[in-house]
Amino acid sequence: MYYQPEIETASREEILKIQNEKIVKQVRHVYDNVKYYRDLMDKKGVKPEDIKSVDDIKKLPFLTKADLRDAYPYGLLGTDLKNCVRIQSTSGTTGKRVVAFYTQKDIDLWEECCARAIVAVGGTNEDVCQVCYGYGLFTGGMGLNGGSHKVGCLTLPMSSGNTERQIQFMMDLNATILCCTPSYAAYIGESLAEAGYKPEDNKLKAGIFGAEPWTEEMRRSIEKSLGIKAYDIYGLTETSGPGVAFECEAQAGMHINEDHFYAEIIDPDTGEVLPEGEKGELVFTSLDKEAFPLLRYRTRDICVLTREKCSCGRTHVKMSKPMGRSDDMMIIRGVNVFPSQIETVLLNEKYPPNYQIVVDRVNNSDTLDIYVEITQELFSDKVSDTQAREKALEATMRTMLGIGPKVHLVPPKTITRSEGKAVRVIDKRKLHD
Amino acid sequence: MAVKQLSVFLENKSGKLIDAVKTLADNKINIRAMSIADTKDFGILRLIVSDAEKAKTALSDQVLCAVTDVIAVEMKDEAGALCGILDVLNKANINIEYMYAFTASTANGAYVVLRVDDNSVAESVLKKNGIATLNNDELQKM
C-alpha cells in the first residue's frame, strides 16, 4: 500500500527529473533569500547557475549544526515571517536550540511524508492511530498527528506521559497503530504486562518508532511485548521532522522521500562524497522547502545508502538505521563507543532494555559503568551467581567495545523510565571540564 | 525434607530493607530467621518465614524475589554441635554456598540453614550419619 503511489514507485529517471528541476529552483530560492548561505556560496565561488542538476550539489558548501546556532533564530529563514505559520524546535539537549520555520506548504509536505510512513506500515482510514510522541515544539507529535489526519486514521493525540491513561485509551478505543519513541514503546509494553494484559490482548498491529537510536534487538523485544510489527522512522527538526525517511514492510532500511530531500553520504573527515553502499555521514539537501530550506546539511548520523530493489515496490533510496549520531558517540579511553553497541549485547544476553550508561573520570582515567536491571529469570539467591553474571557481561562487552566496563545488576524498576527520549548516557566527565 | 526460603534482591540503599520488611509485617508474616549477603551495589536478603509463598506474593509487586529450597538442621545449643554437622558434609565433599543459624525455644534449641547445590545428596549424607533435617511443617510449629 502506498499513500502517493505515483511518486513512491516512480522510476529512477522520473525521480531524477523531479530532483533536477527542484534543485535548480531551491538553490536559487536560497541564494536570493538567505544571506547567511549566500555568503557561504560566494566565499566558495559557487553561483546559483552552477547548479544545473543534483550532480552539482557536491559543489555547494556544507551547513552544520554550528551554522544553525550561529544563524539563530532568523539567519536561515528563506521567506518573510508573514508567510510562516509555525515553528518547531529541537529539545536543545546537545546545546542551543534549533528553531525551524514552516509555511503552510512546508507543513503540508511534511505531513504527506508522515502519511507515507503510516500507509507503509499498513495504515488506512480504518485505523486508530495513537500518537504518544510529545506534542508542541517537538516535531514528533505534530508530525505524526498531521500524517495520521492525512491518511484519515482516527487520531488519538495523546502526547507523551501518563502511561496509565495511554493504556486505558489504547484498550478502550482499540488503537491499531502506536507512534512514540522506542524506549517509551518498551515501557508501555512493560506497563501492559504489569496491568495483566497479554501481548495479544491489544488491537495494535504496528508501531512507528523513532527520534532516538535503537537496535534490531530492541525491535524484536518491542514486537514481542506488544504483539506488533515495529517500524523505524527518521527525521530531524532541521529538515522538517519525522518522515524524512521511513521503513516499509520489508523492515530493512528506511526509504528517503527523495522527491523532497536529496541524500548524500560523505566522509566525515574529508567531506568527500562516498559511493553508494559505503558507510559515512548522512547529508541532506531540501528540494522544495520555503521557510527553512537547508542545502547540504550535515546530520552527523552515520549510515549507508542503498538503491537495491525493495520488495515493497518503492523506488526511493534506502538508508540504514543510523549507527548512532556522532553526538551519541562516546570516546572512552580513546575508543569510540556507541550506546547502541551496549544495547545489542544486553538484549542478546536476555537482559531487558532498561539500562543506563555512566561515564566518568577517576584519577585521570575514564570509567564506564553500565547499570542494567535484573529480571526474575536471571535472579538467584546466590551472590556468586549474580556476580558471575556481571563478570560474563563485562567480558562480552570488552570483546564488543574494545574497552572493559563495570557492569552493575540492579533491581527491576530502578532505572528511570522515559516517556520521550530516553536518557541512556550520563557523562559526568563534562562536569569536571 | 527441604524447607522454603524466601530470597529477595535489594538495592544496597537506605530504606530498601525496611520497605520489604514492612510489607511482610503488614501481611502478618513472621520472620523465623534471616541473613543478608551484601555487596557494594546490592544485597540478597534470605528469610525463613511463616509462609514463603504468601510472602513472595505480597512482595512481588515491590521487589524481585524467589522461593528457594534449603536444608534446615536441628542441633543441640552447645559447643561443638555445628562442628559435627559441618564435619559430615565436609567428609562427603559437599560445598556449602552459604549458611546461617537461629535459635528457638525448643528442646534442642539451635538450628542451622544450609544452602548446598544438591539438597537430596546432602540430606541422605546427613541422614546416614543420624542427623535429621526439618520439614516446613516442623518449622511452622516452632
The three-point CA angle A266-A272-A274 to 5° equals 55
Q: How confident is the model at residue B93, as a pLDDT?
A: 95
Residue A356: DSSP 8-state: E
Q: How confident is the model at residue B55, as a pLDDT?
A: 96
Single out the residue in B69, B92, B110 at which a domain terminates. B69
B115: chain A residues, CB-CB within 8 Å: 381-382
Residue A273: DSSP 8-state: B
Q: Does pLDDT of A327 surpass 70?
A: no
CA-based nearest residue in chain A for residue B99: A382
Determine whether A209 is exposed, middle or buried from the number of CB atoms within 10 Å of its CB (0-12, 13-18, 19+).
buried
The minimal CB distance from A409 to the residues B42, B46, B63 is found for: B42
Q: How confident is the model at residue A417, as a pLDDT?
A: 84
Contact flag B44-A386 (C-beta cutoff 8 Å): yes
The minimal CB distance from A411 to the residues B7, B64, B97 is found for: B64
Single out the residue in B69, B88, B110 at which a domain terminates. B69
What is the mean predicted confidence (pLDDT) over A385-395? 95
State the nearest Cα–Cα gap between A386 and chain B, in angstroms: 10
Same domain? B127 vs B83: yes
H-type alpha helices, A177-274:
182-194, 216-226
Contact flag A381-B42 (C-beta cutoff 8 Å): no
Distances (CA, A) of B33 to A102, A173, B58, B83: 68, 51, 18, 20
Instruction: For A278-300, write each residue's pLDDT tens digit.
Output: 999 999 999 999 999 999 999 98
**Cell digits for B33?**
530467621
Q: How confident is the model at residue B106, as a pLDDT?
A: 83
Kind and range of the H or E run holding A180: strand A177-180
Q: How confident is the model at residue B105, as a pLDDT?
A: 86
The minimal CB distance from B42 to the residues A375, A384, A410 is found for: A410
Q: How confident is the model at residue A339, as a pLDDT?
A: 87
Cβ atoms within 10 A of the Cβ of A246, count? Answer: 28
Contact flag A374-B9 (C-beta cutoff 8 Å): yes
Q: How confident is the model at residue A265, as a pLDDT?
A: 97
Q: Distance of alpha carbon A71 from its chain centroid, rounded?
A: 24
Same domain? B24 vs B63: yes
Q: Is A408 on the interface with B (CB under 8 A)?
A: yes
CB within 8 A of A371, min separation 6: which ones?
A: A355, A356, A357, A358, A408, A410, A414, A415
C-alpha A146/C-alpha A163 separation (Å) is 22
What is the mean predicted confidence (pLDDT) over A392-419? 91
Single out the residue in B69, B85, B119 at which a domain terminates. B69
Same domain? B37 vs B90: no
Q: How confident is the model at residue B3, as a pLDDT?
A: 93
Same domain? B74 vs B135: yes
Encode A236-260 in three state secondary structure: EHHHCEEEEEEECCCCCCEEECCCC
List per-residue pLDDT tens for chain B, 142 residues long: 789 999 999 998 899 999 999 999 999 999 999 999 998 889 999 999 999 999 999 999 899 999 999 999 999 999 999 999 999 999 999 999 999 999 988 888 899 999 999 999 999 999 999 998 998 888 877 7
B44: chain A residues, CB-CB within 8 Å: 381-383, 386
What is the mean predicted confidence (pLDDT) over A386-404? 92
Distances (CA, A) of B134 to A91, A425, B101: 62, 50, 14
CATH of residue B30's domain is 3.30.2130.10
The more confident residue out of A261 and A417 is A261
Q: Is A381 on the interface with B (CB under 8 A)?
A: yes
Q: Does pLDDT of A9 surpass 50?
A: yes
| pLDDT band of A326, cuts 50, 70, 90 | low
Q: How confident is the model at residue B61, as a pLDDT?
A: 87
C-alpha A187/C-alpha A192 separation (Å) is 9
C-alpha A78/C-alpha A84 separation (Å) is 10
Same domain? B79 vs B134: yes
What is the mean predicted confidence (pLDDT) over A169-175? 98
Contact flag A410-B44 (C-beta cutoff 8 Å): no
C-alpha A295/C-alpha A261 separation (Å) is 10
Same domain? B77 vs B137: yes
| pLDDT band of A325, cuts 50, 70, 90 | low
Q: How confident is the model at residue A315, as a pLDDT?
A: 97
State the nearest Cα–Cα gap between B11 and chain A, in angstroms: 6
Q: How confident is the model at residue B23, as a pLDDT?
A: 96
Same domain? B137 vs B81: yes
Q: How confident is the model at residue A394, as a pLDDT?
A: 96
Same domain? B7 vs B50: yes
C-alpha A175/C-alpha B53 separation (Å) is 38
The minimal CB distance from A408 to the residues B41, B63, B115 is found for: B41
* CATH number of this structure's domain A329-432: 3.30.300.30
CA-based nearest residue in chain A for residue B96: A382
CA-based nearest residue in chain B for residue A381: B7
Q: What pTM value is reported for the model?
A: 0.79
CATH of residue B127's domain is 3.30.70.260
Same domain? B114 vs B65: no
Q: Where are chain A's structural domains?
A: 85-324, 329-432
**Cell digits for B120?**
537430596
Q: Does pLDDT of A362 surpass 90?
A: no
Same domain? B58 vs B100: no
Instruction: For A57-67, write each residue's pLDDT tens digit.
Output: 999 999 998 89
Overall domain count for chain B = 2
Let me know if domain A85-324 sits in CATH 3.40.50.12780: yes
Same domain? B83 vs B105: yes
The string of DSSP codes covering A108-123 is: HHHHHHHHHHHHHTT-
Give the structural domain span for B132: 70-141
Instruction: For A331-359, write each residue's pLDDT tens digit.
Output: 888 788 888 889 989 998 999 989 999 99
Q: Give the ipTM of the model, two decimals please.
A: 0.83
Same domain? B65 vs B120: no
Q: How confident is the model at residue A433, as a pLDDT?
A: 46
Instruction: For B52-88, write each residue's pLDDT tens digit.
Output: 999 999 999 899 999 999 999 999 999 999 999 999 9
**Cell digits for A279?**
558507510
